[in-house]
Structure 1
Amino acid sequence: MRAAELHGQRHVVVNVVDDVPPPKPDEVKIRIGAVALNHIDVWSWRGMAFAKRELPIILGAEAAGEVVDVGDAVEDLFRGDTVAIYGARTCGTCAPCREGRDNFCEGPQAMYGFHIDGFLRTHVNVPARIAVKAPKGLDVMAAACAPITFGTVEHMLFDNAGLKAGETVLVHAGGSGIGTAAIQLAKAVGATVITTVGTAEKAKKAAALGADHVINYREERVEGRVRKITGRRGVDVVFEHVGPATWEGSIMSLKRGGRLVTCGSTTGVAQSTNLYLLFQQQLRLIGSFGCRMQNMRDVMEKMAKGLVAPTIDTVIRLDEIEKGLARLEARDVFGKIVVAL
């Protein structure tokens, strides 16, 4: 079995490793078909100090593949099924897990590719409960973008921010993987989408993807343009995942009673907030992490119906993984970089 192992900071080695054994009674064995790269892979590659793990560790947090073997106790998955794999090994027994709030699991942190061995390998055994079956006809490349890229956005926009038809949403970094997903999912429910990008080329692509208004943040003050677009009203929802570089503008872009939902901070982790504006305008700031497995099912159904589709920038080989991570880190991408195995 081939796998991409992180051996040290920014040092990945593609090795031949031991084959995985037959699955345990509650597990399935999956032949990995595609792994979508995310910023969590970049953080792992950089050697983020807060990750408690032992090296080497196999990278890859978002993947899909084909079930090739099934444990004796598994009843709802079969050989040949295409499945997307939830990005964390949850306990399955705590109250949040039993209630379907998988991203609130009270068990030990076990994010694939970050805390424990991930999916950048040809085969893996996982608990059957975290292998989410794809609708018939959905290909493995699309399914690979369900656990993080589309699942995270579905959870942010609808579970947390409650975005509805007729509302206006500001999507930061519309050329990123989750940015391209947010544009599509918001448009699919009838929202007006304003998005930000850093180049003219990305602006054209974001507009083609469905964004109603595109702001080049290198050329315009985002909150000023948002106020003009909305008749000084502001947006109902801000989709944040950038952090300090956009935070103040995000707050200023909200209407009274607006909601800001954030799942990331790629430009840093600390930023001041105007508390007077927060309470005087009755704003709501919502943190969002990962998704529920139901979100994965929902987005794959939307994909199968043709309502949304992953925006694939590049498909690369396993031995090109470091080039892919470097491009993602440099934001030299529109949509997703996917590793085909």
Structure 2
Amino acid sequence: MAMIRALQLLADRQVELVEREPPAPPAPDQVQLRVRAVGLNHIDVWGFRGMAFAKRLYPISVGAEAACEIIAVGAAVTNVKPGDRVVPYSALTCGVCASCLRGRDNLCENPSGVRGFHINGFAQDITNHPARLVVKIPATVSMHDAACVAVAYSTVEHMLFDNAQLEPAEWVLVHAGGSGIGSIAIRIAKSIGCTVITTVGSADKAARATALGADHVINYREDRFEGIVRKLTRKKGVDVVFEHTGADTWAGSLLSMKRGGRLVTCGATSGPTASLNLMQLFQQQYRIVGSFGAPLSALARGLDRIASGVKPVIDTVYPLADFRAGLGRLESRDVFGKILVEL
């Protein structure tokens, strides 16, 4: 078989497109995937900077989120076949611990790592993957849209429904509405009838967030968002805060919540450290939930959302050779929606 392309991180902040030997035929429980598109996320930025939170060996192929086509299956595989389009789950979970057996894959007790972060990722033409960790793409869902599911859609599904237990007609504050997960959260929350307030950092993003369906858009560079939220809710506060920006918005997020409100957080892009007023926490009966990754079931739910018409916003699609430009765009926050890399 001919050589394949792979986008590899050779050292911290040093990425290069190389040619390498193709993988061996799939093991009995594996599928062989032709990767069609890769979605970029802040986990890629962290990995590029060397923030892997675990030892890893260089070089390592990047890319944690992908849409693929199956080109071969192992002898024991029965759930998929060659020609099927699939989204691979990026965490290599054990499948046998108590958490995995309960469908809480992202709490796996014996994971082998996250692809593109600890171990070789999907930014390569062909790769092998466990057959139990792929989800079929519905016929009506494009490869570009499917490439937003394994990390972005599943993260939002897990945050809003598994953790925050968002219900129709509730008020939700979505931070960074122009980000990949922020834009998806707006669309999903609106699709079930919620009132959405979102924060953005520019007039252009404010206009685009409004067009996306947000009911109220706050430019956090011009106004203190928590004050506007209190006015909009008549001092009551929102039911749910979708938090992923970290230190800069933490205090204001707590002030934006109603009594008994829920805050769910999955990120800390503006800093990992914040203070917490414990009296405020228990007197207001807040529920604060940390959310990392998502269970495998969230991928299927995300694909179903897209099939029903709740599609992602695609900011830019780059060729594989321009991965670094896409990563730079993501780092600069000069983005509205998802950035993809096409193979």
Q: Same fold (TM over 0.5)?
A: yes
Q: TM-score band (shorter)? A: over 0.9
TM-score relative to the length of structure 2: 0.98
Report the Cα distance in structure 2 between the residues aligned to 1:253 and 1:294, rounded to whole angstroms. 31
**Corresponding residue of 1:130:** 133
Report the Cα distance in structure 1 between the residues aligned to 2:144 and 2:93, rounded to whole angstroms. 24
Secondary structure of residue in 2 paired with 1:20: coil
Question: How many Å apart are 1:108 and its aligned residue?
Answer: 3.4
Secondary structure of residue in 2 paired with 1:31: strand
TM-score relative to the length of structure 1: 0.98
Report the Cα distance in structure 2 between the residues aligned to 1:134 and 1:48, rounded to whole angstroms. 31
Matching of residue 326 in structure 1 with residue 328 in structure 2: yes
Q: Deviations over 1:107-134 (max 9, x none)?
A: 1350111110000101110000111111
Report the Cα distance in structure 2 between the residues aligned to 1:52 and 1:176, rounded to whole angstroms. 29
Secondary structure of residue in 1 paired with 2:328: helix
Matching of residue 174 in structure 1 with residue 177 in structure 2: yes
Report the Cα distance in structure 2 between the residues aligned to 1:245 and 1:121, rounded to whole angstroms. 36
Letter in 1 for 2:316: T
Matching of residue 147 in structure 1 with residue 119 in structure 2: no
Kept after mapping to 1: 8 A contact 2:46/2:52: no
Report the Cα distance in structure 2 between the residues aligned to 1:299 and 1:2, rounded to whole angstroms. 29
Report the Cα distance in structure 1 between the residues aligned to 2:140 and 2:147, rounded to whole angstroms. 14
**Corresponding residue of 1:232:** 235
Matching of residue 17 in structure 1 with residue 20 in structure 2: yes
**Corresponding residue of 1:183:** 186
**Corresponding residue of 2:266:** 263
Question: How many Å apart are 1:138 and its aligned residue?
Answer: 1.5
**Corresponding residue of 2:161:** 158
Kept after mapping to 1: 8 A contact 2:178/2:209: yes
**Corresponding residue of 1:111:** 114
Secondary structure of residue in 2 paired with 1:44: helix
Secondary structure of residue in 1 paired with 2:75: coil
Question: How many Å apart are 1:292 and its aligned residue?
Answer: 1.1
Q: Deviations over 1:172-192 (max 9, x none)?
A: 000000001100111111111
1:67 to 53, 70, 88: 70
Change (3 A) 1:53 1:96: same
Question: How many Å apart are 1:144 and its aligned residue?
Answer: 1.1
Kept after mapping to 2: 8 A contact 1:59/1:118: yes
Letter in 2 for 1:193: V
Q: After the TM superposition, which segments of 4 or more aligned residues of structure 1 sit over 6 Å from their partners?
A: none
Q: Deviations over 1:83-128 (max 9, x none)?
A: 0111211111111111111101111350111110000101110000
Letter in 2 for 1:187: K
Question: How many Å apart are 1:263 and its aligned residue?
Answer: 0.7
Kept after mapping to 2: 8 A contact 1:316/1:339: yes
**Corresponding residue of 2:51:** 48
Question: How many Å apart are 1:137 and its aligned residue?
Answer: 2.6
Report the Cα distance in structure 2 between the residues aligned to 1:48 and 1:157, rounded to whole angstroms. 26
Report the Cα distance in structure 2 between the residues aligned to 1:112 and 1:176, rounded to whole angstroms. 22
Gaps of 5+ in 2: none
Count of paired positions: 340
Matching of residue 340 in structure 1 with residue 337 in structure 2: no
1:101 to 101, 104, 107: 104
Secondary structure of residue in 2 paired with 1:135: coil
Kept after mapping to 1: 8 A contact 2:135/2:299: yes
Matching of residue 243 in structure 1 with residue 246 in structure 2: yes
Question: How many Å apart are 1:78 and its aligned residue?
Answer: 0.8
**Corresponding residue of 1:194:** 197
Report the Cα distance in structure 1 between the residues aligned to 2:12 and 2:325, rounded to whole angstroms. 15
Matching of residue 3 in structure 1 with residue 6 in structure 2: yes
Matching of residue 314 in structure 1 with residue 313 in structure 2: no
Secondary structure of residue in 2 paired with 1:40: helix
Report the Cα distance in structure 2 between the residues aligned to 1:133 and 1:48, rounded to whole angstroms. 31
Question: How many Å apart are 1:202 and its aligned residue?
Answer: 0.4
Percent identity, aligned pairs only, is: 57
Q: Deviations over 1:221-249 (max 9, x none)?
A: 01000001111100000000010011000
Secondary structure of residue in 1 paired with 2:324: helix
Matching of residue 214 in structure 1 with residue 237 in structure 2: no
Report the Cα distance in structure 2 between the residues aligned to 1:247 and 1:319, rounded to whole angstroms. 37
Letter in 1 for 2:337: G
Gaps of 5+ in 1: none
Letter in 2 for 1:74: V
